[in-house]
Amino acid sequence: MYDKIILALSLEHGIAEQALETARRLGGKDAEIIAVHVYEPPSGSVSTYLDEDLVRKAYDDAKRALKARFDNAPEVTPVILKGHSSRTITEYAAEINANAIIVGSHMPGLRDYFLGTTAARIVRHAPCAVIVLR
């Protein structure tokens, strides 16, 4: 059993329900479940051309969407972080002493074998157990 579980979520993918059910089974009734979405700000050269209000609105929209996704799950704490997805999730897991990370992954294509997916990077660098959902 795990007592502190991170649900590493992309707001574009629909695995939240499956990830939450997995966390509930693996953690039991007293587990702390933290739903994490990493907001990747536009890169330096791109951000030069973007309005600051537009970037702030995108961040606020992501924060609202994450919270709304778990409105019916009061045991889940939604957390939005800024940075590079896999690195930010593994660093956050170490920072809070998480026991497990649940992350979704698509079926890998040829491109993924050369570049690696976020899930693959989390598996390689996480300081705790990683459960990958397809």
> What confidence tens digit (pLDDT) does each residue in 57-78 have?
989 999 999 999 999 999 999 9
Instruction: Tell me: pLDDT of 114 over 60.
Output: no
Q: What does pTM read for this prediction?
A: 0.87
Alpha helices in 29-126 (DSSP H): 44-47, 52-69, 85-96, 110-115, 118-125
Domain regions of the chain by residue span: 4-133
Q: Residue 10: what pLDDT? A: 83
Q: Does domain 4-133 have CATH number 3.40.50.10440?
A: no
Mean pLDDT of the chain: 87
